């Protein structure tokens, strides 16, 4: 220690200098390691030199152009010294560029296939720098063949020179590099077709700028990649995009940002808020840090972009940079007026409310007329936005109008902890088809759940299917399935929903599925999908996945995993029964397991989705059948009632249905996936042919709300079939919710329209309420010990309630009688 103290300087200033040097060496080393490209570099010396240049230009070299006030001088001061190493040193810093390119390429391909783009697209890349984005686009489309022309617009001569060398090397003659201020770039100066069309359109008009009122001669794609945050006068640049963009064109932006949730919490047009909020420390640090290099992260840039255009898709993400999460976003938009005409809004809303008489509103002529027409919540929100000169909610800019807009910030939607309960539907679709006999004139309303039965109904091609679920994530799952059938081949669909795993899920989501999903669903699956489909497995996710995981864990602990595999591959009922009896039965029917797990209320709710009211029905039936005294029996019979219910569920299934070929429900619970010989109807190759047709889901509408809220906004007498699964079991007998929903169902159904429901009770209390409110009830199936009610055998009874009398007419008659009595008394 004495020797060391003799070597080190004693002057405090010298000590500080030494400390700073050590810190500088440390930071430089970390910086180089953090930015080192993956894989073995054949030129390590050049890579090291590139990062030294980058470090010097960004953190050491003074920006000589800053004092002039000229933006081009400032950019040159910053980029001239590092132009030749720009691309090599931005790979890890500028994340999200490839995602943005993949998303806009998918949108363009879809719009070309749909006939919305009739010619080879024109692409303008604002702030395109070295042309890196254009070359990377080659991973998604052939730039030379797909685009008629590509314009790379940038203000830095050094970066533009690098771009010219790049495209000369690639031999892409359709790419032009324009060194110009983005505010001054005009497409008609370079595109002859655009110039001619503008002249024709604008004849006789007062014109300040030939690019005003852009028409079909404009660009089909405009992008900005980490450029908007570097443009001081960003308002005119964003305004100019609307002049450049064709009516069916797409805008793609990727950039850094920071924002507080207070700014956007009341906006319904930003396409979702997942991960958008940045904590205070992040906002202060990154904004201050980037200002050193004239990069501005204030939220106004992104806010104005979202105000000027309609949001198609939106991503909020974090780049782990130096161990600190650097916020960035990817945004895909379109013209603010795309699909915003009153006639178009009314047309879409009519499908949501089943109203053929919904008239278009002339929003420019005055206030909205108040009449008897029924509007959906989505329509009302759209009208409010239009009257305030705001873009429509993002769902209105979808390529498909399957998903109906909802307010994601409401407490009733947020109580599900950002997760779905059911990863698979626990209803026998074959029994549903036999009982309902769906035809082409039917208008069906059904609970979404995992969407399996919605897809089964779609195979029968009814006129309309309304899928309803209060849990947004259940509808996100249905959206994912519908998008997959719309665009993916059978092999990928099987991997996703047969095996429940796909190693390339993220690529599929961005490059294939994104044009067919709402922004909210896309955000959800981008955040959660890679883990679900790459690691966890779809059917081990969600609340129901907890049950599957526990069952699998239990079998592994008891050494029964091999027996389970044999049970699921048994080729005869005798073989299946033998395996069941000798091993598995003793575990699943253990009273300890039943009382501690299945008899636990918290477990039933989180894992299986069984509410207390439904459990009470099971216990009541048990007391009635076993003639257990009512007083004080609840506590003593609770576990035993559930145990008997489980026993009567599983035993007949194993004895009468073969899991390996005809009962995919229990095969899934044991294996965690389906097999080619045992799977839902919608996963067969024949079903894929039907569901992948362009018109397969034209009649689908996905509502995120309570059933009562949805049917209250439908034209009376339009539904023909309503499937409520076991949801009526969830209502407490002492409340008024059940009667309210039954009366709403009566109002929405046609005469002879049917409600199909399943119940854990043999004769549920609410059946009488149906009879009191104009329905003829019929128990079409009942479970008795030793036999199966259907392949699931989970419910005690199945009911069809047929509307015979309209309660609205009865209410009118009662009102008239009361008036008559009053008149007589007078």
What would you report as the CA-atom Rg of the chain, rounded to the nearest whole angstrom? 32
Domain pair 92-335 / 423-496+684-809, same fold: yes
Provide the token pair at 142: 């052939």
For 107, residues 6+ apart whose C-beta sits below 8 A from its C-beta are: 250, 312, 332, 399, 514, 515
In which region does residue 267 sit, left (phi positive, over 0), alpha (psi from -120 to 50) or beta (all else)? Answer: beta
Helix (H) or strand (E) holding 601: helix 601-603
Q: What is the mean pLDDT of the segment spanning 194-207?
A: 53
Mean pLDDT of all residues belonging to the chain: 82
At 711-732, the pLDDT tens digits run 988 889 999 999 998 889 888 8
| CB 315, CB 526: distance < 8 Å | yes
Distance CA 36, CA 28 (A): 12
Residue with tokens 């109904």: 457
At 30-71, the pLDDT tens digits run 455 544 554 544 444 455 455 555 555 555 555 555 555 555
Burial (Cβ within 10 Å: 0-12, 13-18, ≥19) of residue 322: exposed
- pLDDT band for 823, please (50, 70, 90 cuts): very low
User: Would you state the pLDDT for residue 204?
Assistant: 52
With a cut of 50, say whether residue 480 has pLDDT above it: yes
Q: Which of 52-66, 308-322, 805-819 has the highest mean pLDDT?
A: 308-322
Work out the end-to-end distance of the chain between its first and last CA atoms, rounded to an integer number of angstroms: 113
Q: What is the mean pLDDT of the segment spanning 94-99?
A: 91
- pLDDT band for 329, please (50, 70, 90 cuts): very high
For 811, residues 6+ apart whose C-beta sits below 8 A from its C-beta are: none
Sign of the CA dihedral running 493, 494, 500, 503:
negative
Distance CA 234, CA 301 (A): 7
More confident residue, 158 or 239: 239
User: Would you state the pLDDT for residue 702?
Assistant: 95
**Phi/psi at 566 (5° precision):** -65, -40
User: Would you state the pLDDT for residue 189?
Assistant: 85
Q: List the one residue out of 427, 492, 816 whose CA is nearest residue 683.
A: 492
At 649-682, the pLDDT tens digits run 888 999 999 999 999 999 999 999 999 999 999 9
Q: List the one residue out of 627, 742, 674, 375 whose CA is nearest residue 499.
A: 674
User: Would you state the pLDDT for residue 370?
Assistant: 42
Q: List the one residue out of 457, 727, 753 whose CA is nearest residue 467.
A: 457
Sign of the CA dihedral running 188, 194, 199, 202:
negative
Domain 92-335, CATH homologous superfamily name and number:
Vaccinia Virus protein VP39 (3.40.50.150)
User: Would you state the pLDDT for residue 572?
Assistant: 95
Neighbours of 707 (CB within 10 A): 23
Q: What is the mean pLDDT of the segment spanning 339-353?
A: 66
User: Would you state the pLDDT for residue 211?
Assistant: 46
At 545-601, the pLDDT tens digits run 988 898 888 888 888 899 999 999 999 999 999 999 888 887 766 665 665 555 565
User: Would you state the pLDDT for residue 540?
Assistant: 95
| CB 211, CB 243: distance < 8 Å | yes
> Would you kindly state where each structural domain of the chain is located, as residue ranges?
2-87, 92-335, 342-392, 423-496+684-809, 542-671
3-class DSSP assignment, residue 444: strand
Q: What is the mean pLDDT of the segment spanning 59-88?
A: 54
At 787-802, the pLDDT tens digits run 899 999 989 999 999 9
User: Would you state the pLDDT for residue 41?
Assistant: 46
Provide the token pair at 386: 């239009």
| CB 744, CB 711: distance < 8 Å | yes
Distance CA 767, CA 680 (A): 30
Whether the predicted model's global pTM rises above the 0.95 cut: no
Least confident residue range of 3-7, 27-31, 569-573: 3-7
Provide the token pair at 67: 């004092």
Q: What is the mean pLDDT of the segment spanning 487-499?
A: 98
User: Would you state the pLDDT for residue 123?
Assistant: 96
Q: Which of 40-49, 322-331, 489-498, 615-624 has the highest mean pLDDT?
A: 489-498
At 605-642, the pLDDT tens digits run 555 556 777 778 888 887 777 665 544 444 445 556 77
Instruction: Quote the DSSP letter at residue 117.
Output: -
Helix (H) or strand (E) holding 169: helix 157-170
User: Would you state the pLDDT for residue 207?
Assistant: 41
Domain covering 423-496+684-809: architecture: 3-Layer(aba) Sandwich (3.40)
Provide the token pair at 348: 């879409």
More confident residue, 44 or 699: 699
User: Would you state the pLDDT for residue 195?
Assistant: 59
Instruction: Quote the DSSP letter at residue 370.
Output: P
């Amino acid at each position: 220690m004495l020797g060391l103290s003799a070597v080190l300087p004693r002057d405090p200033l010298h000590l500080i200098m030494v400390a700073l040097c050590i810190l500088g060496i440390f930071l430089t080393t970390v910086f180089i390691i953090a930015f080192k490209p993956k894989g073995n570099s054949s030129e390590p010396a050049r890579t090291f030199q590139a990062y030294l240049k980058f470090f010097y230009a960004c953190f050491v070299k003074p920006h000589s152009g800053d004092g002039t006030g000229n933006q081009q001088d400032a950019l040159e001061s910053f980029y001239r010294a590092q132009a030749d190493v720009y691309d090599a040193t931005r790979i890890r810093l500028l994340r999200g560029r490839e995602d943005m390119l993949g998303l806009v390429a998918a949108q363009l391909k879809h719009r070309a296939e749909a006939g919305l783009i009739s010619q080879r697209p024109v692409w303008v890349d604002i702030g395109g720098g070295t042309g890196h984005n254009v070359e990377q686009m080659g991973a998604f489309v052939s730039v030379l063949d797909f685009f008629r022309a590509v314009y790379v617009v940038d203000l830095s001569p050094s970066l533009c020179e690098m771009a010219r060398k790049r495209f000369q090397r690639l031999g892409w003659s359709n790419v032009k590099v324009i060194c110009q201020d983005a505010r001054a770039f005009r497409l008609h100066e370079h595109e002859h077709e655009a110039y001619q069309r503008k002249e024709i359109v604008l004849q006789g008009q007062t014109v300040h700028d030939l690019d005003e009122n852009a028409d079909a001669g404009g660009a089909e794609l405009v992008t900005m990649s980490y450029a908007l945050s570097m443009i001081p006068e960003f308002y005119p640049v964003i305004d100019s995009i609307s002049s450049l963009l064709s009516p069916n064109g797409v805008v793609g932006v990727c950039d850094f940002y920071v924002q507080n949730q207070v700014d956007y919490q009341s906006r319904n047009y930003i396409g979702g808020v997942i991960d958008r909020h940045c904590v205070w420390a992040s906002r202060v640090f990154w904004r201050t840090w980037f200002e050193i290099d004239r990069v501005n992260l204030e939220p106004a840039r992104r806010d104005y972009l979202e105000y000027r255009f309609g949001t198609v898709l939106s991503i909020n993400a974090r780049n782990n940079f130096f161990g600190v999460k650097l916020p960035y976003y990817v945004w895909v938009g379109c013209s603010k007026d795309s699909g915003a005409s009153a006639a178009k809004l009314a047309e879409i809303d009519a499908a949501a409310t089943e109203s053929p008489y919904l008239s278009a509103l002339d929003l420019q002529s005055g206030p909205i007329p108040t009449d008897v027409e029924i509007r959906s919540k989505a329509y009302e929100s759209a009208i409010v936005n239009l009257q305030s000169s705001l873009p429509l909610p993002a769902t209105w800019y979808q390529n498909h109008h399957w998903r109906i807009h909802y307010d994601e910030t409401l407490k009733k939607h947020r109580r599900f902890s950002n997760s779905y309960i059911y990863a698979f539907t626990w209803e026998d679709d074959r029994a549903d088809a036999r009982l309902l006999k769906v035809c082409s004139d039917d208008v069906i309303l059904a609970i979404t759940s995992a969407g399996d039965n919605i897809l089964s109904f779609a195979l029968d091609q009814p006129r309309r299917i309304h899928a309803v679920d209060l849990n947004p994530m259940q509808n996100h799952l249905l959206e994912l399935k519908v998008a997959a059938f719309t665009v993916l081949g059978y092999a990928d669909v099987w991997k996703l929903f047969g095996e429940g795993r796909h190693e390339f899920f993220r690529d599929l989501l961005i490059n294939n599925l994104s044009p067919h999903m709402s922004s909210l669903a896309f955000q959800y699956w981008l955040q959660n999908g890679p883990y679900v489909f790459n690691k966890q497995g779809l059917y081990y996710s969600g609340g129901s996945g907890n049950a599957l995981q526990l069952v699998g864990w239990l079998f592994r602990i008891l050494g029964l995993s091999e027996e389970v595999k044999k049970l699921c591959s048994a080729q005869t009922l005798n073989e299946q029964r033998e395996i069941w009896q000798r091993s598995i039965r003793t575990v699943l029917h253990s009273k300890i397991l039943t009382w501690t797990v299945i008899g636990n209320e918290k477990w039933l709710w989180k894992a299986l989705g069984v509410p207390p009211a439904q459990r009470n029905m099971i216990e009541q039936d048990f007391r009635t059948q076993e003639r257990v005294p009512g007083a004080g029996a609840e506590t003593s019979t609770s576990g035993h009632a559930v145990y008997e219910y489980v026993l009567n569920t599983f035993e007949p299934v194993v004895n009468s249905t073969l899991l390996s070929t005809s009962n995919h429900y229990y095969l899934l619970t044991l294996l965690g996936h389906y097999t080619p010989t045992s799977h839902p109807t919608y996963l067969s190759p024949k079903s894929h042919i039907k569901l992948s047709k362009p018109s397969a889901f034209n009649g689908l509408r996905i509502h995120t709300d309570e059933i009562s809220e949805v049917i209250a906004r439908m034209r009376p007498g339009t539904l023909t079939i309503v499937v409520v699964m076991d949801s009526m079991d969830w209502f407490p007998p002492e409340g008024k919710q059940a009667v309210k929903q039954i009366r709403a169902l009566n109002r929405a159904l046609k005469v002879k329209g049917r409600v199909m429901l399943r119940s854990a009770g043999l004769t549920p209390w609410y059946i009488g309420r149906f009879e009191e409110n104009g329905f003829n009830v019929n128990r079409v199936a009942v479970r008795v010990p030793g036999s199966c009610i259907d392949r699931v055998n989970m419910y005690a009874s199945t009911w069809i309630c047929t509307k015979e009398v309209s309660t609205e007419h009865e209410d009118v008659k009662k009102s008239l009688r009361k008036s008559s009595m009053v008149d007589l008394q007078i």
